[in-house]
Structure 1
């Protein structure tokens, strides 16, 4: 208010006009002065306030400014900037308010001399204020947006830390399960190797036993029937009877009766030996079949063990690379269940 010039005041509710200046002409110049005052009132509206029950109105002065007034205005601006400790750089509301007052005073001075130039400066002032208001709104919205993003980041950080802790716990559990499964796999492989050794030893013993029995049967056959060439016992008996020359001239019925009487006991002994021989031969065939099945079974077991080892290696690599833990765990559990089922079937067999 102190920077404004030519203040007019009234003590009641009505506005008291100023007395005409001395030597001021009437007519066109007075009309121009009145038009200038109207423009000033539109640019800088009068101030109104109530004090002690009286309405006071303060108008803008229409007195032209001199060079000395401009110098005093500059000095007053510097003094108030220093007095109110306005910042020289950056955003400062105090500096902005003082410069707005100075700009309004300059518009008033220019409008008194040239109304059109004053109106143009008024448009410039309004444009500057609108730009500053837009920047202020943008700044406030950006600050609010930044605050929201910061809060969301803090919340997301807590969730992320909790997720990281859960994943680390899952990783430790999976590593423990991998260690347990590896230990179990090694134990199963060790037991399978021991079982294969026992089975091989048992098979070798059975083979040696059958070979010894076969050799003993061959020796017994050679001792009992040194001249036996045919396969079945009936052909051997007829061959011996014909080669002996004892009953070659007899009739067939008589030959059969004599054959029955003369070789009854040897035929009985030979039949038992042949039965034992074929039984041993069947045992040898069975032994060979058992060996073949055991070899095939060992090959299948070794192949399955190699597949399980490769599967465990791949899963271990996936565990190190940080793949899907749940899928890997389900696969490992399914593999362990299949392995247990296979072992149960194997033990049952």
Structure 2
């Protein structure tokens, strides 16, 4: 983040403050500040490691006959700049959150230059460089450090700002996609459900009342914010209600088996990640087969990973090929899981004999 030059050592000493942690890049921070949190100990550790690696590179690049004599001083100066910059940004974060990103960029830029100047002054006087360099050497030392810091800090802050804008764009795109996914429940599902309820009103009023409650709860889900997280138990309840509604229409053709006792029900997940898988199973498998079939939902939490598998009979090729729109739902689920949990989450598809398996997986604990 700063690029000071240490007096008698030619070659720049770069203090790189690192990139955003996985949590910030995949889960999208709740605040709107473009900077990652430098209060995170893991990010600070990354700063230390990167700074030390750069110290090795810079000392070796000096071309001295015995570069190892300079390594201690270069490393010490580099760590001063890196850790001081990280600490300054960490302490300033509450204040930066209260201003616009444009103002935060300018404030961060000036803060990094100030850190460079202060550490350079400390290095000059504590290192005894004033005895050899004099006032002219002092000015040159300070100007060189500040100039390089200005260039590199500007580039790094620009990179972080552009990355933040990219994440915001991805988030907005994801929300638009999930809203489109939620809207897909209404057209093809509403009319079938209302017809089923109408048929039950005279013959089985209690079942019709339960169906109305299920339908209203399902549509309440579609009114949620696209980025809202819900407990896994609530997502499973939505899926059960959906299958009960489909059971009114398909009758005995639709059989469901749940094997989810080992799932941690309190785990927060994006809404509408399981129901679309069951929708695919119904429309691509059960409905396309005259005899219907069984949908098996298996959930497990093994080690640090949670997986939920939906298995259904596979319709002959070509029978359900006109329903390509359902693949949009799978892509939406994959995107939202990866935005929430990074590369530790996703959707896997495979064919097993005459059956089709769709598995969604994500970390058991919150991704960092």
Normalised by the size of structure 2, how large is the TM-score? 0.27
Normalised by the size of structure 1, how large is the TM-score? 0.28
Using CA pairs under 8 Å that are at least 6 residues apart, name the structure with larger relative contact order, 1 or 2. 2
Which of these two proteins has the greater Rg computed from alpha carbons? 1
Q: Please identify which structure carries the higher strand content.
A: 2
